[in-house]
């Protein structure tokens, strides 16, 4: 199923962890609608401006979120978030572009280093907190500068 011009539902639901643990990660129509908002508000505009984006983690049903030790309040469970690896620009360029051009709830520089995060978490959660943060060693988050 197509969520937007450049994104398919399968990109947001495929999970190696789900496959290994026989977890059905099929989203409800409400979750699909949230994923469409995520695509239209953040991912599709970024894809057009910056080039191809790989979704490393999208929607997670409760069982999958538990299996990956995700936060119980994760926007992934509601279909409002994706972890993204841009293929045609740097991760920091992608994060800056989202911050400057999109209506977003969170941009998180996940793991790696501040100069080279492993991936970028983006969220269109309706809380709309405009948080730009990074993971810190030992767990937790701290403000990040882009």
Q: For residue 57, which of 49, 45, 71 has the smallest C-alpha distance? A: 71
- CA torsion sign for 78, 6, 99, 85 is positive
- At CA 131, angle to CA 135 and CA 41, rounded to 5? 115
The arithmetic mean of pLDDT across residues 5-24, rounded, is: 96
Q: Which of 15-19, 38-42, 135-139 has the lowest mean pLDDT?
A: 135-139
The arithmetic mean of pLDDT across residues 62-89, rounded, is: 96
CATH topology for 9-143 is: Muramoyl-pentapeptide Carboxypeptidase; domain 2 (3.30.1380)
């Amino acid at each position: 199923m197509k969520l937007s011009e450049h994104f398919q539902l399968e990109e947001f639901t495929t999970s190696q962890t789900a496959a290994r643990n026989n977890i059905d990660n099929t989203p409800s129509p409400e979750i699909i609608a949230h994923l469409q908002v995520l695509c239209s508000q953040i991912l599709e505009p970024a894809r057009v401006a910056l080039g191809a984006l790989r979704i490393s983690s999208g929607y997670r049903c409760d069982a999958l979120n538990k299996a990956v030790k995700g936060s119980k309040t994760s926007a992934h469970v509601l279909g409002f978030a994706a972890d993204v690896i841009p293929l045609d620009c740097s991760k920091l360029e992608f994060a800056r572009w989202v911050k400057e051009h999109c209506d977003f709830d969170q941009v998180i520089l996940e793991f790696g280093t501040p100069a080279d995060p492993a991936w970028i978490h983006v969220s269109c959660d309706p809380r709309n907190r405009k948080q730009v943060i990074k993971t810190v060693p030992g767990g937790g988050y701290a403000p990040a500068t882009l």
